[in-house]
Structure 1
Amino acid sequence: MSRDHDLPDTPGRRTVLKGAALAAGALAVTPGLAQAAPARATDPRPHPEKRPEKHPGTPPYVNPLVLRRADPHITRHTDGRYYFTATVPEYDRIVLRRSRTLNGLSTAAESVIWRAHATGPMGAHIWAPELHRIGGKWYIYFASAPVEDVWAIRIWVLENAHSDPFKGTWVERGQIKTAWETFSLDATTFQHRGTRYLVWAQHEPGMDNNTALWISEMANPWTLTGPQVRLSTPEYDWECVGYKVNEGPYVLKRNGRVFLTYSASATDWHYCVGLLTADARADLLDARSWTKSPVPVFTSDDSTGQYGPGHNCFTVAEDGRTDVLVYHARQYKEITGDPLHDPNRHTRIQKLGWKPDGTPDFGVPVADTAKEGA
């Protein structure tokens, strides 16, 4: 996920997870950890470094783009519009916005398309929704917990058969069943070479961490099939500040490779983005196919005054070619009280750069811009 769900010095979700050893479920699991390795050789195939810096007529990005919206997800649909959803500070509903332009999301009307249940499952901690179009239907993946057990967080799916996600009926397809009934969240889905995958964060029984990253094939948009493979677990110091966390995965396919970003550590100013990389021709269900960066690729920056950047996704600019990085961050380093109750993680966007070897160049989180002239 990547919301401020940290509860220091309380029996909160991460603290309770430490050392947990819950019974395994019926699904087969193939443990496999991607080890740090040297960077791959330069990819001889074309890469986007020749893309224009800015498409004519595209204004500079407004930042923060959307206030008090964490774990942002922006997708550009075939209708040419951008669709936005994110975690709200109250953790009690799922919202949507849309706009013809990225900057337009800042002031676009926001609709509540689903609310948490008053009792039972899907009643608390509504976190990190993602909107995906699959097989002619809309799906929203999100995390939630029962009202009666707010840290028993699992992954859930909504479905809407209407062509317009603001219309029609959102049907609750239920929980995505993983190998264990343990803390799980931050599901994202992508298709590659004819196969649909789910990647998510989950606590593995018996492991001394909070969450690792997992991948599995999907039988349909709400059902996993085949082995569930561990891709990454917190191992470097920068992944273990406050909590041992890998979460908030997202995929970008470019230059003959599959890039998988994720977020690590506690959700204060230590929160940062890591990167896994696989060759596009490799078996994505083989953990050995993935190379893990030994250093974070996107971190807090004092010079721009942005802290705790994370839970990112990617979209494209209005020109249809320029890659755009979407993430949340705070405008201050020190947090008063429990980070869970600090609402000021704002959605931000900036151009994603590319290095000569065809790997992404995240740069630093950009400074705030004025709203005027957007």
Structure 2
Amino acid sequence: MCMSKMLFLPSIGSLLLLFWTCATNQTPESQLPDQPDVESDSLFLNPIHTHGPDPWVFQTEGQYFLTFTTGVNVTLYRSSEMSNLSGAFKKVIWTPPSTGPNSQNIWAPEIHRVHGKWYVYYAADDGNNENHRMFVLENSHEDPMAGQWVDSGELKLPDNRWAIDGTIFEHEDQLYYLWSGWEGVTNIRQNIYICKMSDPLTPTGKRVLLTSPELSWETNGVIPTVTEGPQMLKKDDRLFIVYSAGGCWTDGYTLGMLSARKDADLMDPASWEKSPQPVFIQNPEGNAFGPGHNGFFTSKDGTEDWIIYHANGFAGQGCGNKRSARIQPFLWKDDGTPDFGQPHPLYQKLTKPSGEY
């Protein structure tokens, strides 16, 4: 229609004049140029997975491999697009034994490709949380969706203490392992530890405490206090460990960050500087409560940096399957540190990662 409001027209003549004016100002639909479907081509909605606690993504050769906590197995997703998992290939690559040290509470699996082989690191126990340890699967096939996943047993971390949320990374030709663990045998506080590895299956040397929950937003009024989910992020001459704090059962679960120079001794706690404020916090107006346990990836064309994380859609939903997996781009500040912004409002459209449209 040529008019958006109703007008009172006092005569039939003026009504005819109005119709004639509309007709002469309109262009036949057959002559209109085709308009691109911008919304379907370039935009998407979070969450990318409605039940996606502890999301992790590994990318290689134009493919993204994702894992989440299911609690009962390791399920692997493969997709060429991070913004649309509806067409992702999904496969349960490992089911735990019915009994034993890694038979229950399968948490936060991560898939990595290290020195030409695939590895999945995951936390598990025998039904008793005090016995949670890190375990590893390996697969020598080029395609992690094919071949055989072999249970290589417990990852024998130094001191043999409670451990979850392990991740491996390589820097200057040296493998390192980060995880969240207890200092002793009592569930008082979860700390972030690091150790070296001689190969993807063999931790070496001592574990080193990098950080503990000590700031008010880390302790968050909970017992036990928690720092967990450490993730490595590299940019130019800086290394960052982005971790979760505050207890996943609270809405105040949030992200903190340690930073070090790339030429620093990563095994020296003094090399790591803690950000005094959290770097990613809840956005209640955007239905993002307890955002945390993140990972990182780049757009298909390599021009954008993105974060993947989980959050609850409503307050008080805790550590269950209400946590959905979400993604959003992030930028870099002039001082060389990442700027994650705030969690993007749920169900508010975002532009897809560059190269996906």
> Which TM-score bucket, shorter chain as reference?
0.7 to 0.9
Distance 1:315 1:193, change over 3 A: same
2:217 alignment counterpart: 238
Q: CA deviation at 1:206?
A: 7.7
Q: Which residue of 1 aligns with 2:259?
A: 277
1:158 to 119, 127, 137: 137
What does residue 70 of structure 1 align with?
A: 53
Q: Is the 8 A contact 1:61 1:350 kept in 2?
A: no
CA gap 1:106/1:213 in 2 versus in 1, 3 angstroms: farther
C-alpha distance in 2 between matches for 1:348 and 1:281: 33
Partner amino acid, structure 2, of 1:258: L
**How far apart are the structure 2 equivalents of 1:371 and 1:304?**
12
Cα separation, partners in 2 of 1:58 and 1:85, compared to 1, 3 Å: farther
Q: Is the 8 A contact 1:175 1:222 kept in 2?
A: no
Shift, 1:208, TM fit: 8.2
Separation (CA, whole Å) in 1 of partners of 2:186 and 2:277: 22
**How much does 1:291 deviate?**
0.2
Q: Which has the larger radius of gyration?
A: 2
Q: Deviations over 1:223-280 (max 9, x none)?
A: 1112321100111111112231110000011021001000011112111000000001
Q: Which runs of 5+ in 1 are unaligned?
A: 1-56
The residue aligned with 1:330 is 312
Letter in 2 for 1:302: P
The residue identity in structure 2 corresponding to 1:350 is Q
Residues 302 and 372 of structure 1, relative CA distance in 2, 3 Å threshold: closer
Structure 1 counterpart of 2:199:
220
* 1:369 equivalenced with 2:352 (yes/no): no
Separation of aligned partners in 1, 2:351 and 2:113: 33
- Of stretches 276-285 and 61-70 in structure 1, the one that deviates more from structure 2 is 61-70
> Who is 1:289 aligned against?
271
Q: What does residue 167 of structure 2 align with?
A: 188
Percent same amino acid at aligned positions?
38
Residue 93 of structure 1 is matched in structure 2 by: 73
Aligned to 1:211: 190
CA RMSD of aligned residues (A): 2.0
- C-alpha deviation, 1:210, in angstroms: 2.1
Correspondent of 1:179 among 154, 158, 161: 158
Tell me whether 1:197 sits opposite 2:180 in the alignment.
Answer: no
Distance in 2, Cα, partners of 1:372 & 1:99: 19
Q: Residue 239 of structure 1 aligns to a residue in which SS?
A: helix
Aligned length: 310
Check the 8 A contact 1:174/1:222 in 2, yes or no: no
The whole-number CA distance in structure 1 between the counterparts of 2:47 and 2:293 is 15
Q: Which has the higher contact order (CA 8 A, sep 6+)?
A: 1
Distance 1:269 1:278 in 2: 29
Three-state SS of the structure 2 residue aligned to 1:67 is: coil
- Relative to 1, partners in 2 of residues 1:125 and 1:206: Cα closer, same or farther, differing over 3 Å? closer
Deviation digits for residues 184-229 of structure 1, max 9, x if unmatched? 0111111111111101111002888421011111011121112321
- Report deviation, 1:181: 2.9
- Structure 2 residue aligned with 1:113: 93
Hey, what's the Cα distance between the residues in 1 that align with 2:350 and 2:212?
A: 43
Point out where structure 2 has 5 or more consecutive residues left out of the alignment.
1-39, 353-357
Matches within 5 A, 1:133-172: 133-147=113-127, 149-172=128-151
Would you identify which runs of 4 or more consecutive aligned residues in structure 1 move more than 6 Å? 370-374
Kept after mapping to 2: 8 A contact 1:143/1:184: yes
3-state SS in 1 of match to 2:217: helix
Name the structure 2 match of 1:9.
none
Q: Distance in 2 between matches of 1:73 and 1:116?
A: 20
Partner of 1:54: none
TM-superposed deviation, 1:106? 4.3
Aligned counterparts of 1:198 and 1:113: Cα–Cα separation in 2:
23
Alignment CA distance shift 1:97-1:152 (3 Å)? same
Q: What is the TM-score with the length of structure 2 in the denominator? A: 0.83
Counterpart Cα distance in 2 of 1:367 and 1:165: 34
SS in 2 for 1:288: helix
Secondary structure in 1 matching 2:213? coil
**Alpha-carbon contact 1:143-1:185 (below 8 Å) kept:** yes
**Could you say which residue in structure 2 is the equivalent of 1:315?**
297
- Residue 61 of structure 1: how far off its partner (Å): 4.3
SS at match of 2:277: coil
Report whether the alignment pairs 1:247 with 2:208: no
What is the Cα deviation at residue 309 of structure 1? Answer: 0.5
Q: Please show how residues 5-24 of structure 1 align to structure 2 within 5 Å.
A: none
Structure number having the greater helix percentage: 2
Aligned to 1:238, what secondary structure does the other structure show?
helix
Query: What are the Cα deviations for residues 153-189 of structure 1, in whole angstroms up to 9, with x where unaligned?
Result: 1000000000011111111111111232322011111
Amino acid of the structure 1 residue aligned with 2:172 = R
